[in-house]
Amino acid sequence: MKKLKYFTFLFLSLLVFQVQAQKVSLVANIWPPYVDSALADDGLAMKIVKTALKRAGYTPELRIEQWKKVLEGSKLGIYDLVGAVWKTGARQKKLLYSNSYLTNNIILVTNSHNKIEFNSLNDLQGILVGVLKGYEYDSKFMKDPKILKFKANRLTQNLISVQQGKLDVAVADRRLALYELKHFMGNNRADFRFLAKPLSSRKLYVAAPKENPESQTLIAKFNQGLAAIKKDGTYQKILDEYTY
């Protein structure tokens, strides 16, 4: 009986160790509707990422930080994974990227009475364009000195300015614009028009610090989990939960 108890204890101890070994620290910045602790399952992006990681055998532990802390912490190896990040040349020097799991369509929002149309960057020259601080927009757009850019901390600020005619257009992620209009702009959706041609499209990734020897395995496992939830329909069900 004592031997049986000993081996049972040993088995349970090993099992606990294995469960603990599967934990992965995940970090992201607040970015509704993609990342937000106030939303169901911490937002669309985190629902996808956590579901894929769980399918791959991991237990993700999410921490939401300011973007500067997210990048600094991930590059220093404080966190195992950055949960939602765009790819840039500078970041690729320090981070290993997964397969993309979402596409961010960056669009232009104008007042419904405004006749502006967008076919090329030339159409934005000489008008007032609202952007957000800290966003990595299309490089040609950002470098064009003839496009008058006004920076705000929140998209809602730019949408109000567009509504009041203080800005001609606001640059926004499509899902974020729909989310903000629904939750913060009341019944004023009819006051706005989304221009048909997007400014750009950006792929969204999970990334891990290159200096961490476990990162390649972790990214590979995430990719496997992502493929699995796409194959069985789970991925599409998640997308359908976050419509605005």
Predicted local confidence at residue 147, as pLDDT: 96
Domain with CATH 3.40.190.10 in the chain: 25-102+202-241, 104-200
Q: pLDDT tens digits for 173-214?
A: 999 999 999 888 876 888 999 999 999 999 999 999 998 999
Q: Which CATH superfamily hosts domain 25-102+202-241?
A: Periplasmic binding protein-like II (3.40.190.10)
Phi, psi of 105 (to 5 degrees): -90, 115
Nearest-10 crossing angle of helices 174-184, 155-164: 70
Predicted local confidence at residue 68, as pLDDT: 80
Residue 5 has pLDDT above 70, yes or no: no
Architecture of domain 104-200: 3-Layer(aba) Sandwich (3.40)
Q: pLDDT tens digits for 52-70?
A: 999 999 999 999 988 788 8
What's the whole-number average pLDDT of the chain? 89
Q: pLDDT tens digits for 88-116?
A: 888 899 899 999 999 999 999 999 999 99
Q: Give the separation between CA 26 and CA 207, rounded to whole angstroms.
A: 10
